[in-house]
Amino acid sequence: MRRETGAGDAHAGSADRSCSGSPGAGGTGGGGPGAGGLDAREASAPGGVAPGERWQAVLVAGAPELSARLLADVFGPLLALAPAERALLVGTLDAWLECGGSVGRAAVRLRCHRNTVFNRLRRLERLTSRSLSHPCELVETVLALEALRWAAGRG
- Number of Cβ atoms within 10 Å of the Cβ of 21: 6
pLDDT at res. 87: 96
| Cβ atoms of 54 and 62 closer than 8 Å | no
How does pLDDT run across 9-48, given as a tens digit for each residue?
433 333 333 333 333 333 333 333 333 333 433 344 445 5
Q: What angle do CA 27, 136, 60 make, to 5 degrees?
A: 115
What's the sign of the alpha-carbon dihedral 37, 64, 142, 75? negative
DSSP for 49-73 reads: PPTT--HHHHHHHH-HHHHHHHHHH
How does pLDDT run across 123-145, given as a tens digit for each residue?
999 999 999 999 999 999 999 99
pLDDT at res. 9: 40
Instruction: Domains for the chain: give ranges and CATH numbers.
Output: 55-154 (1.10.10.2840)
Sequence-ordered list of residues with C-beta below 8 angstroms from that of 95, at least 6 positions apart, any chain: 106, 109, 110, 117
pLDDT at res. 47: 52
How does pLDDT run across 43-89, given as a tens digit for each residue?
444 455 555 667 888 888 888 899 999 999 999 999 999 999 999 99
